[in-house]
Structure 1
Amino acid sequence: MQIVMDIPTELAHAIKLPEEEIPTRLKTELAIRLYRKKLLNFGKARQLAQMTYWEFYELIGKEDVNRNYDVNELEEDLATLEELF
């Protein structure tokens, strides 16, 4: 499923950003909000924001968002570490 949002021109112009930055910024802001509300996990929120792991990790730190770290993410991180070493 793909979701397309229709934002009225007047509202889009009210966003205090250069026009070309608005779509990316809206995705990022939505990703942060959904992650903060625990509606998306870190990996999915990062994908929505179209950022690397470390970019999103740094962003949520700057936004003062608590990192929701559960057992599944720990297991994924441990598996990644095992692959690296």
Structure 2
Amino acid sequence: MSDITIMVPSDIVQALRLPPDTVQAELQQELALALYQRGILSSGKACDLAGLPRWEWEALLGDRKIRRHYEEDELEQDILYATSSQ
């Protein structure tokens, strides 16, 4: 699969209450948030799509009160990984 372009009609872009130079970044962040919240994208991939450093992505999730998708088995894998590299 390759990159895709999403067409947003100019009247909608003009109706957005955003500074014109931030529209693309804001829309990418909103898409990333929505896809992550629906479980369609992992946190890492959504972070990449949003174009944010990891700590900013995590802060954005917190600001929006979006629950992290982190299950107990993932925690166990992370702990195992962290302890095995010592």
Shift of residue 20 of structure 1?
A: 0.7
**Alpha carbons of structure 1 residues 4 and 74: separation in structure 2 relative to 1, 3 Å:** farther
Letter in 2 for 1:29: E
Q: Alignment length, in residue pairs?
A: 84
Larger radius of gyration: 2
How high is the sequence identity, in percent, across the aligned residues? Answer: 29
Q: Which runs of 5+ in 1 are unaligned?
A: none
**TM-score of the two chains, using structure 1 as the length reference:** 0.84
Q: Give 2:77's aligned residue.
A: 75
Question: What is the rounded CA distance, in whole Å, between the counterparts of 1:77 and 1:4 in structure 2?
Answer: 39
Within 5 Å, which residues of 2 pair with 1:1-85?
Answer: 1-70=2-71, 71-72=73-74, 75=77, 79=81
